[in-house]
Amino acid sequence: MSVIPIKSDSNESAAPDGEQVPGAAWDLDDPSLYLNRELTWLAFNRRVLAEAEDDRNPLLERVKFLSIFDSNLDEFFMKRIGGLKHLARAGLSSPTIDGRTPQEQISQCESQVAEALADRAYIIKELLRLMGEEGIHVDSYENLDEDMRNKLRKRYRTSVVPLITPLAIDEAHPFPFVSNMSINLLLRVHDETEKEPHLIRIKVPISERTPRFLRIDGEDRFVALEEVIANNLDLLLPGATILSLGFFRVTRNAIVERDEESANDLLEMIEAELRERRFAPVVRLEVSPNLSNDLQQYLAKELGLSHREDIYVVPDLFGARDLMQLAGIDRPDLKFSRFEPASHPRLVNSPSIMAELDERGPILLKHPYQSFDNSVTRLLREAVADPFVLGIKTTVYRTSEDSAIVPLLVEAVTRGKQVAVVVELQARFDEAANIRWANRLEEAGIHVSYGVVGYKTHAKVTLIVRQKKSGKLRRYVHLGTGNYHAVTARQYCDLGLMISDKYIGADTSELFNLLTSGSLSGRRYRDMLVSPLGMKRALIKKIRRETRFQKKNNNGHIQLKTNALEDADITRELYKATRAGVKVDLIVRDSCRLRPGLPGLSESARVISILGRFLEHSRLYYFHNDGDEEYFIGSADLMTRNLVSRVEALAPIKDPALQKELREILDLQLADTVGAWEMDNAGVYRRLAPAKDAIHSQFEQIALSSTRASAPAPE
């Protein structure tokens, strides 16, 4: 699996591989120049699956990658396929920039998914075999000896059976509601008291307290809960004859949208959306091979699905995302070596972060290599305890249930500080948690707002206002590329800026005034780029400037590190720049529309995607600017939704020492020969062949952060 293709179709150019004669004029409206967002994302998830196959990774890390692949695919069906089907049902057939209608995208995605699932089946089998060799067994119930079965049955009877509710399906009992992502048994049974067989549906009660895989005798030996249920049905249905049985699982559309502008209460609207999502249309039905054709058709009809297109026969394990349970087994020998984030070198012996920023200037944070708790959380902790801090403002997009930040904000209010929090209620799949946080914050007396109507708040920023001895106010800002989430800060590669700067401080105040007042008009920013007001326009202007410098001085250079490059206008401008010879390096984690290496158009462009131990999540934008180099970090990907439909912020990094650190990150990633995949001009990704001196940028960063944390602090 060293090659990840993106399937072409009739939308590709008539010339071989979509290429034209070098030097010929390219029509930048040609759909073949723009790769499809959904297909490039699926190619990204195939790269995740390739990590599960890669024997250079420790075994349980491979299991973890497999779990992530399945979790990603579930979300893809809920959000992306769900959205496309919503458009198709509405009769919308307008093609995207790549020339595909919603229905064409659905069909091509289904073909790609089928190929990925074929690879997945082989990889699951191989990983389970290797786990068995290491003493971690996922057994079939039929393969257990009688003693093991008896022990499992006893535990099952006392700990699980009371949670199960068999539901009859017959003339008197309509087809029941089937919850999203649940695993279910469908039985055809005959009871001697009845003339005709009937159906019974049993939902497998998986939860945090009832795990998917039941451990046998305290050993690393497990059996899937659904198998235990299926082989002990007499405990639920005594006297019944089981004529047939099979498993199924449904995926529901996560796209449930209401008119925010006409809603009287935004919080109430989001709560209603969550309730509706439970009953949203089904977009995928997964079935086991032993579920008969007539029952598959029956389920498809009851769930409102097309039997041919929407049913996926899963030959092995439903919901392999649950393998994360097994990846968490305490076997250090089968995982990456233990890693603890280091404290930032400047913060190790510094008694006060705010004093450090005043005396020695801004600090660049690199997570997960540097500790989130000893930097971001510490800054907030100091601000809460400091009697001269008068106000704190922050944004909440996603945060952990055990977040230290929310209690600190509550404590700040009790200490008499002005606290304002902008909560994004529509952070997909975190809506319920954010509603709870919003209610808790409001009850504590914190000013809670929900941003600008019609625009998600995606910016990750905190503002601290402190009074100096002179009576003047000084502003301290933290701006990051990732959420205020202590758990993901140990798993995602993100950047953060802590700074006390006149202009950044003023821009951040203006940003919060926008968010809390809900008013977009009249806003002016000196240094920061803010969407939806002018970020896209500013980025296009900078791309065009590189084109001018290329024509004048032959030194145009752009480097963009982002999760996704989807916006058609940005892609078009990058094509114009590369046509002029501007060197463009793109480090794009998943979806990317631009095709590098097209003769006469994008020969000076390079596109790579990096996977590894951590999820690449930072956004870092560089422009050579004729030697007066510009660096920006922030929350915004190069997607239309980020640039025109969200409130996002990018901050310039002007300090030479911090620019040097960012240059090191870009150079390391562009030199990566282990975690990097490179795209060719047809949109196909190939894993780079490791050089003699192989470089994995993430492991290099781990080593660097450890070395620098232990080095003596500079005077």
- Give the tens place of pLDDT for each residue, 283-314: 999 999 999 999 999 999 999 887 677 899 99
Q: What is the mean pLDDT of residues 55-59?
A: 95
To the question of domain 345-520 being in CATH 3.30.870.10, the answer is yes
Q: Look at the block and give the residue holding tokens 């017959």.
A: 170
pLDDT tens digits, one per residue of 325-378: 999 999 999 999 998 999 999 999 999 999 999 999 999 999 999 999 999 999
Query: Residue 646: its pLDDT value, please?
Result: 93
| 603 or 708, higher pLDDT | 603
632-642 pLDDT, tens digit per residue, is 999 999 999 99
pLDDT of 664: 97
Q: Is the pLDDT of residue 668 over 90?
A: yes
Least confident of 87-91, 596-600, 699-703: 87-91
Does the reported pTM lie above 0.85? yes
Q: For 153-320, CATH number?
A: 3.30.1840.10
| Tokens 């982002």 belong to residue | 562
d(CA 271, CA 282): 20
What b/e string do you get for 149-161 counting C-beta neighbours within 10 Å, with b at 16 or more? beebbeebeeebe
Residue whose token pair is 């660097």: 704
Lowest mean pLDDT among 70-74, 246-250, 515-519, 529-533: 515-519
Q: Which residues on neighbouring strands pair with residue 246, listed in sequence order?
A: 186
7-13 mean pLDDT: 39
pLDDT at 127 over 70: yes
List, for residues 397-415, the tens digit of each pLDDT value. 766 666 788 889 999 999 9
Locus of tokens 């009851």: 302
Position 408 scores a pLDDT of 93
Q: Do domains 345-520 and 530-710 have the same CATH topology?
A: yes
What would the mean pLDDT of 15-41 be, rounded to a whole number? 76
Q: What percent of the chain has pLDDT over 90?
A: 73
pLDDT at 626 over 70: yes
Amino acid at 10: S
Confidence at 706, pLDDT banded by 50, 70, 90: confident
Amino acid 711: pLDDT: 63
pLDDT at position 435, please?
66
* pLDDT surpasses 70 at 268: no
What is the model's pLDDT at position 8? Answer: 41
Binned at pLDDT 50, 70 and 90, residue 692 comes out as low
Range with top average pLDDT, 8-22, 661-675, 700-714: 661-675
Whether residue 21 has pLDDT greater than 50: no
Residue 24's nearest CA partner among 579, 682, 544, 575 is 579
The domain limits of the chain are 153-320, 345-520, 530-710
User: For 530-710, which CATH superfamily applies?
Assistant: Endonuclease Chain A (3.30.870.10)
Look at residue 88 in the predicted model and tell me its pLDDT.
85
Q: Which residues sit opposite 687 in a β-bridge?
A: 677
368 preceded by cis ω (within 30°)?
yes
What is the C-alpha separation between 10 and 27, in angstroms, rounded?
Answer: 17
Range from 56-65, 301-310, 530-539 carrying the lowest mean pLDDT: 301-310
Q: One of 86, 458, 478, 624 is an active-site residue; which one? A: 458
Separation of first and last alpha carbons in the chain: 51
pLDDT value at 427 more than 80: no
- Cβ contacts of residue 503 below 8 Å, gap of 6+? 526, 527
- Bridge partners of 433, per DSSP, are none
Least reliable range by pLDDT among 167-181, 364-378, 653-667: 167-181
- pLDDT confidence bin for 16, thresholds 50/70/90: very low
| 458 given a catalytic annotation | yes
Q: Per-residue pLDDT averaged across 116-129, rounded?
A: 96
DSSP 109-131: HHHHHHHHHHHHHHHHHHHHHHH
Q: Please report the sign of the dihedral spanned by the C-alpha atoms of residue 275, residue 280, residue 285, residue 287.
A: positive
- How far is C-alpha 471 from the chain's CA centre? 44
Q: How many residues does the chain have?
A: 715
pLDDT of residue 485: 84
- Per-residue pLDDT tens digits for 80-118: 998 888 888 888 888 999 999 999 999 999 999 999 999
Classify residue 435 by burial, with Cβ atoms within 10 Å: 0-12, 13-18, 19+: middle
Q: Which of 155-164, 265-274, 643-652 has the lowest mean pLDDT?
A: 265-274
